[in-house]
Amino acid sequence: MQLSREELLSAYTRMRTIREFEERLNVEFQKGTVPGFIHLYSGQEGIAVGICEHLDEDRDYIGSTHRGHGHCIAKGVDVKGMMAEIYAKSTGVCGGKGGSMHIADLDKGMLGANAIVGGAPPLALGAALTAKTLKTGGVSVPFIGDGAANQGTVAEAMNMACVLNLPMVFMFENNGYAEFTAASYATAGSIEARAKAYGMPGTTVAGDDFFAVHEAAREAIDRARNGGGPSVIEATAYRFHGHFSGDPQVYRSAEELKSVREDHDVLNNFRDRVTEAALLDQQELDAIDAEVLTLMDEAVAEAMAAPDPMPEDLFTDVYNTYQ
Amino acid sequence: MQLSREELLSAYTRMRTIREFEERLNVEFQKGTVPGFIHLYSGQEGIAVGICEHLDEDRDYIGSTHRGHGHCIAKGVDVKGMMAEIYAKSTGVCGGKGGSMHIADLDKGMLGANAIVGGAPPLALGAALTAKTLKTGGVSVPFIGDGAANQGTVAEAMNMACVLNLPMVFMFENNGYAEFTAASYATAGSIEARAKAYGMPGTTVAGDDFFAVHEAAREAIDRARNGGGPSVIEATAYRFHGHFSGDPQVYRSAEELKSVREDHDVLNNFRDRVTEAALLDQQELDAIDAEVLTLMDEAVAEAMAAPDPMPEDLFTDVYNTYQ
Amino acid sequence: MPIITYREAINQAMAQEMRRDPLVVVMGEDVAGGSGGSAGGEEAAGGVMGVTQGLATEFGRERVIDTPITESAIMGMGAGAALTGLRPIAELMFADFIGVCFDQIYNQAAKFRYMFGGKAVTPLTIKTLIGAGMGAGPQHSQAIYPWLSSVPGLKVVTPSNPYDAKGLMIQAIRDDDPVIFCEHKSLLAMEGEVPEESYTIDFGKAAKTREGSDLTIVSMSWMVNFCNEAADQLAGEDFSVEVIDLRTTSPIDYETVYESVRKTGRLLVVDEATPICSMASEISSAVAENVFESLDAPIRKVTAPHTPVPAAPMLEALYIPDTAKIAAAVRETLEYEL
Amino acid sequence: MPIITYREAINQAMAQEMRRDPLVVVMGEDVAGGSGGSAGGEEAAGGVMGVTQGLATEFGRERVIDTPITESAIMGMGAGAALTGLRPIAELMFADFIGVCFDQIYNQAAKFRYMFGGKAVTPLTIKTLIGAGMGAGPQHSQAIYPWLSSVPGLKVVTPSNPYDAKGLMIQAIRDDDPVIFCEHKSLLAMEGEVPEESYTIDFGKAAKTREGSDLTIVSMSWMVNFCNEAADQLAGEDFSVEVIDLRTTSPIDYETVYESVRKTGRLLVVDEATPICSMASEISSAVAENVFESLDAPIRKVTAPHTPVPAAPMLEALYIPDTAKIAAAVRETLEYEL
Ligand SMILES: Cc1ncc(C[n+]2csc(CCOP(=O)(O)OP(=O)(O)O)c2C)c(N)n1
Ligand SMILES: Cc1ncc(C[n+]2csc(CCOP(=O)(O)OP(=O)(O)O)c2C)c(N)n1
Ligand SMILES: [Mg+2]
Ligand SMILES: [Mg+2]
């Protein structure tokens, strides 16, 4: 289906924001200013945005992974709050207590990044159950890596979603690797076939093609929203960086690394498509790029300048009642 | 493939032994002489025996379930030792410490009944890995119920077996129920399709037909033994009793209960087949039946007469070293 | 007051809360029971122990949800539903099964509030069967509340009688934090007076089930009943024993324990769990740190041994701390002179 | 003697045992690393922290097995292989992940010997990363050995330095029971003298890392180093502090602790775990029961607070017990007068 100019601009802005967020973090991390570990989403932007452009902030939920920044931005979590969170500041969306792998924003329908591989799909069942029980029309979308695909929790969630006919889309991102191990080695058979084995529709799309993802997502989300139950989308994805920022990637060939960036850049593909079709022009896209860069400068500067959490924050928020 | 007279007699004896073991236990349990819970295998004998007749005692292993008596007998565990174990006596195969749901006999290649649904398939991976590593030619067979099929551990084990090309046969017994919940409700899609989704061969057989199971098992076990990797057999199975001895089965219709026993009795089917084909005659089968009944009388009498464990047994066998 | 069982008390609590609050749902294996069966499934089995009996009939299968045997999916679905607006009761049939789904409990539900910077509320109740006494063997008999109680963010409830079971279950459902409600399988048939109307019992408020001045026993769940028996027996020997029922092992009502020990000077902690890092260890160490100066004798612990739960009923009986073992430990502690 | 890191010491232990015994295999996520990758996978990544570096190259991918991210399958495969003749080392990358696979550890591997009537042997070593200090956040930083130590049938190893790490790892591999070997991530780069030749350290034998007569500190893993520092600092203030490194938290060397407390009369237990039902609770309660009469002061515990591990490094630093907190608790305990 044809997207409006506004929709195209929105999608591009989101994808570019994710890209620059990650690229900037990578630079800052190498400088040593970022605490903890970070897992970058660069290259996979089309998947998060292709899905989330169909989702509402209030009734639709996503569950995420350790590689969650892109999912968060696509679902509308505040970029500056995210940056501050990664910098472990009190102004972060989780007050600095969660960090990169635990960014959550329930008001935006974001159930949390998750540092446990396969942790989110069972939680996403719950958001779907709430939608079904309260008849909100909401849909729940867990993002799942090719490595996570093998975790028992994911199989359990797929079966449960089918049994209860829950409004869900299981969004698999197959970027070919789980840490340093290839999906071709560790993920037997096919994810699409796994979906079908549970009696769900399953489809595979190219994750570097925003339009393909967006179209598959539309169908799957509409189905879920209209009581048609869960389905699976598998997107081939291209991880530009290592597993974490700083990973030397000895397990990937130079050719692969080159090809991933040169042949499978979803942002380049998008630009080419929309400019060739004369839907948007280079200048307006460049303007977005510039704005996004400015936003990142601000986000990093504000995060670095923001105050640390207070020492007493260590003890708060464990329980609602009872300390 | 055609079975020899000896093989037919062996298979029948094993199946009849399982049946009478369970039926006798059911009677004794109602009398209140048996401690704990028991889950009876009556009706599913053709599956355990159809598989285990192909397995060696020393190099081949099976992993079992809470409904494990039949698997144990089929794999050659001593019937009197099992009875004594269920009666919680010191002469039991586990000295009374395991009970019905934990009968194990590693010398017979029996990795243990298992009171955790989905507990055994990961363990069965290990037996297969040992066989592969030590090149014993051994095969490992976990038994899995239709309810257990959904447990994440089972999906994990199927994927791992494929990734490592382990010599295994995943033997699913679909008796239509997990406790009081029907497989048609709780087990989405198809088990055979799940096998194929991991890239394994999968086949479905009638569990009340010993010959069908035996033939499918031969093929799958040969494949595994010859380096061809894992596969799945799903057998439709017929649970004669409730989930446990004493279950009133309000969830099953009278017609179903009647049909299960009248139309799907693997022992009757077997008798009909071999006598019609004049391979065995009624008398020799009746003689086996009588012998088996005598064995059960002895097993129960000996179990009841056997000594309890000693009080100090409470503290032993926790560690090999260090108390 | 009506006399009902512990099982019925819990059932009543759930039914009353479900009537009161449409956001309360129940999910788990066979919590309705019979879904998809050839009998049509109208007759709910009501849980493997009958604790949810009748709920599916009254509230329908949209609110009393039979699930596949996939505990991670059940616990996660409960946690996710709690995070997004429902107030779920998720059943983990036997607590021993927690090993297949503990991540969803301890890393997910219990940590949301903290790691999301205080912005998440997870009103999840997990109900589960604990403990020995039924000859159910090593994987169906464990008293695992000590390690559950060690998890920040999780509350753990261990009722010892029908009255407490009802009030604590209603509190668990209304509580905005994840709660594990531990039903002791050996207590399900215990009878007691239980008001028909709805009431709550605060978490972290221990009960004094016996008053005394010579020695304090602290316990929880099934064991409280043996402690009471021992205290009654010892009263006949002119020993005045105070029994404190923690009711919840997280939060722990340390203050009531301290106050009692300040009075009696002697402490015995009785715990059905295995000894190492048990609730007995915890309570003992808290007293040894905070009311040391009041102590007139070593702090004794009576617990299960450091072994799995044996299947043989005769060994299981030796495994379980009982009235005789408790009374003996009390006598020894009372005889101790500094 | 060569000076190597804790990481290298563990690596050396595994390599030496693999050379000695062909039954030893290693399995886990990325323990070789690079399987199936476009670079051909010849260069092994050697584990996410480099602890298994070089093993795949030396012993081949049949003995150093990369697995999918399915911890139940990994732990179960290890347990099943141990039960049938191998001597596997199964890696659980971060101990925090245990929630997805604990059943295979605590209900299966740990219980086999007992529930199978003594007829099973399960020589499984589980190696795993524990602890805080890397800003890795609430699901990658936990010190969970207390609840592991509560499981009958499981042994738990918590080395505090490279020498112990090597000797305890070799013992773990040779041990016929399931063992969880807890590598502290903040110790991986710690250097120390480690003999090149193979040696074992018995389980259940604590080490005295400082001798003293005024007060006993008991600790384990990373914390021992802070305790040593505190003892050294306090020596300058003329306090004589004894430090006991448990080395294994199951089995526990109670006797060495008791003997020390009989001498010093004062005890502090330092534990990185959260406080409730911690090793600190356990050791304290054992002393309060068994050497009560020797105590001249309340038993103090210094532990993490009852909270998840916060991601912010600045909060994490407050979370972790450190030398200053330990020294302060020692001073207070020494000042106490009965
Ligand atoms: C339960 C669990 N096991 C292992 C890990 C360590 N780990 C973190 S990310 C990762 C790889 C995940 O791969 P994939 O699902 O393909 O996601 P990707 O990193 O490619 O986005 C692993 C093994 C973890 N965090 N949790
Ligand atoms: C992890 C776990 N969950 C739940 C149970 C309780 N339980 C025991 S048997 C059973 C049903 C199993 O059904 P299925 O796998 O079909 O085997 P069947 O009983 O039909 O032989 C259940 C739910 C358990 N023992 N372990
Ligand atoms: Mg991946
Ligand atoms: Mg079944």
Task: Count other C-beta atoms under 10 Å from residue C57's C-beta.
Answer: 14
Expressed in angstroms and rounded, the spacing between residue B123 Cα and the centre of ligand 2 is: 17
Average pLDDT, chain D: 97
Catalytic site residue from C87, C127, C140, C155: C140
Measured between CB atoms, does B133 come within 8 Å of chain D? yes
Which ligand has the minimum distance to the alpha carbon of residue D94?
A: 1
Q: Tell me the residues of chain B between 220 and 259 that have a Cβ less than 8 Å away from chain D.
A: none
Average pLDDT, chain C: 97
Give chain D's end-to-end CA distance (angstroms, integer).
47
pTM of the model: 0.98
Q: Tell me the residues of chain B between 171 and 210 that have a Cβ less than 8 Å away from chain A.
A: 185-190, 193-194, 196-200
Query: What is the C-alpha to C-alpha distance for residues D246 and A30, in angstroms, rounded to an integer?
Result: 39
Expressed in angstroms and rounded, the spacing between residue D320 Cα and the centre of ligand 3 is: 33
D259, pLDDT greater than 80: yes
Q: Is the CB of B188 under 6 A from ligand 2?
A: no
> Which pLDDT score is estimated for C163?
98
Task: Count other C-beta atoms under 10 Å from residue C29's C-beta.
Answer: 25
What's the CATH number of domain D3-193, 3.10.530.10, 3.40.50.970, 1.10.3720.10, 3.40.50.20? 3.40.50.970
Catalytic site residue from D140, D155, D184, D185: D140
Are the CB atoms for A171 and A141 separated by under 8 Å? Answer: yes
A262 three-class SS:
helix
Which residues, by Cβ under 5 Å, contact ligand 4, an ion? Answer: B 145-147, 175, 177-178
Comparing CB atoms, the residue among B96, B122, B130 nearest residue D73 is B122
Question: From the alpha carbon of A178, which atom of ligand 1 is closest?
Answer: 13
Long-range contacts of A28-35 (CB under 8 A, 24+ apart): A28/A300, A29/A245, A29/A246, A30/A245, A30/A246, A33/A87, A33/A304, A34/A86, A34/A87, A34/A245, A35/A87, A35/A88, A35/A99, A35/D135, A35/D311, A35/D312, A35/D313
Query: What is the C-alpha to C-alpha distance for residues A290 and A295, in angstroms, rounded to an integer?
Result: 9
Q: Distance from A274 to chain C by nearest Cα, in Å? A: 38
User: Shortest CA distance to B240 belongs to which of B271, B207, B270, B213?
Assistant: B207
What one-letter code names the amino acid at A148? A
C326, pLDDT greater than 90: yes
> Which pLDDT score is estimated for D233?
98
Give the tens place of pLDDT for each residue, D55-103: 999 999 999 999 999 999 999 999 999 999 999 999 999 999 999 999 9
- Residue B47, phi then psi, degrees to nearest 5: -80, -55
Percentage of chain D beyond pLDDT 90 is 97
Q: Is C140 a catalytic residue?
A: yes
Q: Mutate which of B314, B322, B323 to test chain C, going by most C C-beta atoms within 10 A?
A: B314
Question: What single-letter DSSP state applies at residue C212?
Answer: -
C45, pLDDT greater than 90: no
User: Shortest CA distance to B60 belongs to which of B106, B120, B1, B12?
Assistant: B106
**Which tokens go with C240?**
């005045």
Q: Is the CB of B148 under 6 A from ligand 2?
A: yes
Please list, residue by residue across C93-114, b when 16 or more beta carbons sit within 10 angstroms of its beta carbon and e when fewer do. Answer: bbbbbbbbbbbbbbbbbbbbbb
Interchain proximity C139–B252, CB inside 8 Å: no
Expressed in angstroms and rounded, the spacing between residue B223 Cα and the centre of ligand 2 is: 29
- Place C338 in a pLDDT band, splitting at 50, 70 and 90: confident
A314 domain residue, yes or no: no
Task: Count other C-beta atoms under 10 Å from residue A323's C-beta.
Answer: 9
D212, pLDDT greater than 70: yes
**Domain coordinates of chain C in residue numbers?**
3-193, 207-335
C-alpha to C-alpha distances, A33 to A26, A36, C248, nearest whole angstrom = 10, 10, 44
Find all residues with CB under 8 Å of D43, minimum gap 6, and list them: A250, A251, D34
Query: Alpha helices, DSSP H only, in chain C?
Result: 6-20, 55-59, 71-83, 102, 112-115, 145-149, 162-174, 223-235, 254-264, 279-290, 313-319, 323-335
Q: Which residues of D touch B134 (CB under 8 A)?
A: 85-86
Expressed in angstroms and rounded, the spacing between residue B68 Cα and the centre of ligand 2 is: 12
Comparing CB atoms, the residue among C30, C99, C100 nearest residue B181 is C30
Are the CB atoms for B57 and B135 separated by under 8 Å? Answer: no
CATH code where residue A181 lies: 3.40.50.970
Expressed in angstroms and rounded, the spacing between residue B317 Cα and the centre of ligand 3 is: 44
Find all residues with CB under 8 Å of A284, minimum gap 6, and list them: A9
Average pLDDT, chain A: 97
Find all residues with CB under 8 Å of B249, minimum gap 6, and list them: B242, B257
Task: Indicate the burial class of D238 (C-beta count within 10 angstroms; 0-12, 13-18, 19 or more).
Answer: exposed
- CA B69 to chain centroid: 6
Alpha-carbon dihedral sign for residues A226, A227, A230, A231: negative
> Which pLDDT score is estimated for A320?
86
User: Shortest CA distance to D89 belongs to which of D99, D98, D79?
Assistant: D79
> Which pLDDT score is estimated for D264?
98
Task: Indicate the burial class of A289 (C-beta count within 10 angstroms; 0-12, 13-18, 19 or more).
Answer: middle
A104, pLDDT greater than 60: yes
Question: From the alpha carbon of D140, which atom of ligand 1 is closest?
Answer: 25
Nearest CA in chain C to D145: C277
Task: Count other C-beta atoms under 10 Å from residue D99's C-beta.
Answer: 25
> Which pLDDT score is estimated for C55?
96
The three-state DSSP-derived secondary structure of A179-232 is CCEEHHHHCCCCHHHHHHHCCCCEEEEECCCHHHHHHHHHHHHHHHHCCCCCEE
- Place C42 in a pLDDT band, splitting at 50, 70 and 90: low
Q: Determine the residue of B18, B67, B179 to mutate for testing ligand 2's pocket, defined as the one with the most ligand atoms within 8 A of the Cβ atom.
A: B179
Give chain C's end-to-end CA distance (angstroms, integer).
47
Give the tens place of pLDDT for each residue, C131-169: 999 999 999 999 999 999 999 999 999 999 999 999 999
Say how many domains are in chain A.
1
Measured between CB atoms, does A177 come within 8 Å of chain D? yes
B266 domain residue, yes or no: yes
Give the tens place of pLDDT for each residue, C270-296: 999 999 999 999 999 999 999 999 999
- Place D42 in a pLDDT band, splitting at 50, 70 and 90: low
**Which tokens go with B112?**
């243990």
Task: Count other C-beta atoms under 10 Å from residue D266's C-beta.
Answer: 23
> Which pLDDT score is estimated for C43?
64
Question: What single-letter DSSP state applies at residue D105?
Answer: I
User: Shortest CA distance to D192 belongs to which of D211, D166, D214, D218?
Assistant: D166
Q: Which residues of A touch C25 (CB under 8 A)?
A: 129, 133
Q: Distance from D273 to chain A by nearest Cα, in Å? A: 15
**Which tokens go with A98?**
């969660």
User: Shortest CA distance to C283 belongs to which of C338, C201, C203, C217?
Assistant: C217
B71 domain residue, yes or no: yes
> Which pLDDT score is estimated for C68?
98
User: Shortest CA distance to B154 belongs to which of A155, D139, D159, C229?
Assistant: A155
List A66's β-bridge partners, or say none.
none
Comparing CB atoms, the residue among B147, B250, B315 nearest residue C43 is B250
Query: What is the C-alpha to C-alpha distance for residues C244 and D110, in angstroms, rounded to an integer?
Result: 33
> Which pLDDT score is estimated for D114?
98
Interchain proximity A200–B189, CB inside 8 Å: yes
Residue range(s) defining the domain that contains residue B172: 5-305
Expressed in angstroms and rounded, the spacing between residue D278 Cα and the centre of ligand 2 is: 33
**What is the H or E stretch that residue C156 is in?**
strand C155-157
Chain D contact residues (CB < 8 Å to A): 29-30, 33-41, 43, 45, 48, 66-70, 72-73, 96-97, 99-100, 134-140, 305-308, 310-315, 318-319
Interchain proximity C88–A126, CB inside 8 Å: yes
Mean pLDDT of A18-22: 98
Nearest CA in chain A to C78: A126
Nearest CA in chain C to B149: C69
What one-letter code names the amino acid at B55? L
Classified by CATH at the fold level, domain D207-335 comes out as Rossmann fold (3.40.50)
A1, pLDDT greater than 90: no
D338, pLDDT greater than 90: no
Ligand 1 neighbours, Cβ below 6 Å, are: A 65-67, 115-117, 145-148, 175, 177-179, 243; D 29, 69, 71, 93, 97, 100
Residues of chain B with pLDDT under 70: 322-323
- Place D44 in a pLDDT band, splitting at 50, 70 and 90: confident
Question: From the alpha carbon of D103, which atom of ligand 2 is closest?
Answer: 1
Find all residues with CB under 8 Å of A49, minimum gap 6, and list them: A11, A14, A15, A18, A70, A74, A210
> Which pLDDT score is estimated for D43?
64
C-alpha to C-alpha distances, D299 to B233, C169, C259, D201, D267, nearest whole angstrom = 60, 36, 18, 29, 5
> Which pLDDT score is estimated for C41?
64
Expressed in angstroms and rounded, the spacing between residue C124 Cα and the centre of ligand 2 is: 24
Nearest CA in chain A to C72: A153
Nearest CA in chain A to C123: A320
Are the CB atoms for D328 and D227 separated by under 8 Å? Answer: no
Measured between CB atoms, does B318 come within 8 Å of chain C? yes
Expressed in angstroms and rounded, the spacing between residue A212 Cα and the centre of ligand 3 is: 20
A77, pLDDT greater than 70: yes
Q: Mutate which of B89, B180, B318, B322 to test chain C, going by most C C-beta atoms within 10 A?
A: B180
Q: Which residues of D touch A98 (CB under 8 A)?
A: 137-138, 311
Q: Is the CB of B219 under 6 A from ligand 2?
A: no
Q: Distance from D264 to chain C by nearest Cα, in Å? A: 16
Q: Which residues of D touch A118 (CB under 8 A)?
A: 69, 100
Q: Tell me the residues of chain B between 95 and 124 that have a Cβ less than 8 Å away from chain D.
A: 95-98, 102, 104-107, 111-112, 114-116, 119, 121-124
> Which pLDDT score is estimated for A226?
98
A172-176, A319-323, B209-213: least confident range = A319-323
